[in-house]
Amino acid sequence: MANTKTDEKLQKIAKDLLESGEVSLVIGYAKGSNLQRMRPVFITKAEDAGKLSFSPHAVQDLAVFLKKPEVKKFGKIGIVVKGCDEKAVNALIQEYQISRDNIKIIGMECNGVIRQNIADKGETNVSESAVYDKCLICEEHIPVLYDFLIESEEPKLVLSGNVKPYSGIEKLESMSAEEKNAFWAKEFDKCIKCYACRQACPLCYCSRCIVEKNMPQWIDTNSEETGNAQWNLIRAYHLSGRCIGCGECERACPVNIPLMLINEKMAKDVYNLFGYKSGLDINAKPVFGVFSESDFNDFIK
Amino acid sequence: MEEKYFEISAENLKKFVDSIIADNFEVIAPTDKDGDTFYGKISRFEEANLDILLPKMSYKEYLLPKTETLLEYSFSGVDTEIKDGLEAVAGANEKRVIFGGRPCDAGAGPIMEKVFNWDYKDEFFNERFKNLTIVSIACEKPDNYCFCTEMQLSPESSYGSDILLKKAEGKYFAVVTSEKGLNLIEPYINLFKETAKAQVPADKDWKKLFEIERTKSFLDKNFEHNYFQDRFLSCIGCGVCTYTCPTCHCFDIQDEGNLKEGRRIRNWDSCQFGVFTLHTSGHNPRVTQGDRYRQRLMHKFKIYSEKFDKYLCVGCGRCSRNCPEDIDIKEVAKDLADMA
C-alpha cells in the first residue's frame, strides 16, 4: 500500500533524526502480517525509514520496548507514540527508568485504534464500537509531551454516548464483596500464568518480578485459585497509581481476562482519593512515591 | 485399525452430539466466550461454533493441565504420608470428547506423545491421552496464518483424530481411524450410514508455500545468524506463543506447602521467559529475546525432528494470530527457508 501523508512525515522525521545522529534507533510501526495489522519496527539506518507507517491499526504501546535491555543499549532513541503510549514514556521518566535527554518523542495525533480481534475480521473504520474503551475516554488524542507532532488525517472519533466505556466498573462497584469475589474468582480461573500482561506492560519493568523470587516463594506458583488470585492482585497493586491505561495487558491476555476493569478502577480510585493521574507530568512525583501531610489517613483506626 | 467410513446428515450429527451429552459425555467444543471463541464444555450442539477456523487457545490443557498435582504429602508426628497424584488422574478423559477441533490440533496429540514417552513414560500424560476422544472437522478455508500443509499435515488430515468429519453438500463424511472412535459412535450407529472410501470426497491438492526441510537446513547451519537478534527485537517475551501452542509442552516442577502438608505440582512454563534458563550461578545462556525465540524455532523445526520423525509444530498459526507484536511464525519459517 502506498504511503499516506502521515507516513511521509513520519519517515522524514525518522530519517533526519538518524542522519543527524540525534538518535541511533527509531522505534515505530510498520505494516504487519495482514492489512489490518501493524507491527513494531526498529530503524537504525536512515535508508530504512521508509518502512515506517501509522494507521488506526497501530495498537501496540511501543514504550514497552524502552524497558528491554537489548533496546536500552542503543542509548539515544526516537519513539513513535500515540497519546496513551506517551503517558508511559512520561511515567518511565518520572520513575527514573529513562532520561528525557535520551529520548525523542514522535507524537502521533490519534483518534482511536481499532480493536485487534475486530480488525482481524476486516474492520478498517474508526468508530465508537470498533475502538478500544481507552479511546472512548481518551483525553490525550494529542500526546501531552512530544518533540515532533504529526497531526492526524483521520476523521475525529464521533461519540454518540451509546457505547459506555468500562461499563463493568459501575457494575462491580454496585456488587457486594461476595459478588465481587465471585466475579473475579471466575475471571482469574481462566488465567494460565503466561505473564503476558506483565511483559506487555511498559511499566512492569522489574528485572526480577516478584513471581520469580523463590527464596522465599512469595506468590504461589500454581495456576489455580490461589496462585492466579495472588498474581493478578499483586500486579493490580503494583500498577495502582502508575497504570497509564494503554490496555496492552488486556490486549495481550490470551484468555481475555478483563484486566482493564481492575486497572481503570484503581486509576479512578487514585484520582478520587489523591487527585492524581499517572503519566501526565514528568516533573510530578509518583503518587505512591511521596508522602503528603494532606493525604487522607482515616483508614488508620 | 483399518479406517471405516460413514455418512451422516447435518441433522443426525446434531442428534449424535446431543445424545452423547445426554449420556454423560463431557463435550468440549469451540464455543463463543468473552468476545472470542475458546474450547469449552457445551451443553447442547448449538453452543458449538463450527464456523470458526480455530479457537484462540488450543485444547492442550486436557492433556497437560496448566497445573497438575504429581503428589501430595502430609506430616503427622514422625510419620509422613504420601499420596500419588496419579490416583486422581485414573480414568481422566474417559467420558470426554473434543468435538469440532481442527486437524492441526488433533495432530498435536501424537506429537506430544512422543516426547512424553521418549525415555521416561509420563503416566499422567499417557492416562489422559489414551482416553481422550477426538472428533475433528476438516478445514475448508485455512487462513493466511495457517501452514499445516508445510508441517506434513493438511487441512483434511485425519492424523491424531479418532474421527475426522468432512463436510460435503450439506452432509458429513466421518472417517473413523481408531477403536476409540468406533466405540464412541457404536451406540448411535443408526444415525450413521456406512460407506466406502471411494464415496468420501478426495482431499484437495493443498499447495505449500515453502519447504520446511529448507527451514531446518538453515537452522542447521546458522545458529549465530544476525536474523534472530534483529527480527526478534520486537519480541516482548510474553510467552503467548508457547502457551497457546498445541505442541509446546514445557513444564516446571514446584513444591507448594507448609509445615503440615504440601504437594508437588507441575505448571506450564515457557522458553520465552528470561528465567527459563537462568542458572543458580547467575549465568544465563540465553541472554536476549533473540536467543529465546531462536530456541523456539530450533526446538520446533530442528531439534525435535532430529529425534523423532515429525516436527514440533502443526502449523495452526496460533502463535502468529495471538502475538501482541505481530510476529508471524509462518513468515519467519519461510524467511529462513528462503535464506537456506
Question: Could you report the per-residue pLDDT of A180-197, keeping only the tens digit for each?
Answer: 999 999 999 999 999 999
pLDDT band at B309 (very low <50, low <70, confident <90, very high): confident
> How does pLDDT run across A20-65, given as a tens digit for each residue?
999 999 999 999 999 999 999 999 999 999 999 999 999 999 999 9
Q: In this structure, are residues B310 and B111 in contact, taking their beta carbons and an 8 Å threshold?
A: yes
> How does pLDDT run across B98-117, given as a tens digit for each residue?
999 999 999 999 999 999 99
- Using the structure block, give the residue that is written with the C-alpha cell 501430595: B72
Which residue is closest to A64 within chain B, CA to CA? B236
- Nearest CA-CA distance, residue A213 and chain B, Å: 10
pLDDT band at A1 (very low <50, low <70, confident <90, very high): low
Contact B244/A at CB under 8 A: yes
Contact A193/B at CB under 8 A: yes
Instruction: State the pairing for strand pair B79-84/B4-9.
Output: unpaired
Q: In this structure, are residues B120 and B102 in contact, taking their beta carbons and an 8 Å threshold?
A: no
Instruction: Determine the pLDDT at residue A289.
Output: 87
How much of chain B, in percent, has pLDDT values that exceed 70?
A: 100
Average pLDDT, chain B: 96
Q: In this structure, are residues B233 and A70 in contact, taking their beta carbons and an 8 Å threshold?
A: yes
Which residue is closest to A207 within chain B, CA to CA? B274
Contact A39 B327 (CB under 8 A): yes
Contact B254/A at CB under 8 A: yes
Residue B148 predicted with pLDDT over 70 = yes
3-state secondary structure of B268: strand
Tell me which of B240, B263, B278, B332 to substitute to probe the interface with A (most A C-beta atoms closer than 10 Å): B240
> How does pLDDT run across B231-269, given as a tens digit for each residue?
999 999 999 999 999 999 999 999 999 889 999 999 999
Q: In this structure, are residues A70 and B228 in contact, taking their beta carbons and an 8 Å threshold?
A: no
How much of chain A, in percent, has pLDDT values that exceed 90?
A: 87
- Phi-psi region at B64: left, alpha or beta (left = phi > 0; alpha = psi -120 to 50): beta
Instruction: Determine the pLDDT at residue A75.
Output: 96
- What is the ipTM, given to two decimal places? 0.95
How much of chain B, in percent, has pLDDT values that exceed 90?
A: 97
**Which of A32, A199, A200 faces B326 most closely, judged by CB atoms?**
A32
Contact A170/B at CB under 8 A: no
Contact B234 A42 (CB under 8 A): yes
**Which of B144, B233, B265 faces A34 most closely, judged by CB atoms?**
B144
3-state secondary structure of B26: strand
A301: amino acid identity, one letter: K
> How does pLDDT run across A220-255, given as a tens digit for each residue?
999 999 999 999 999 999 999 999 999 999 999 999
Contact A70 B288 (CB under 8 A): yes
pTM listed for this prediction: 0.95
pLDDT band at A216 (very low <50, low <70, confident <90, very high): confident
CA distance B19 to B24: 9
Domains in chain B: boundaries:
4-339
- Outline where chain B has alpha helix (H): 10-22, 86-89, 103-115, 123-131, 179-185, 212-221, 226-231, 240-244, 289-298, 304-307, 318-322, 329-339
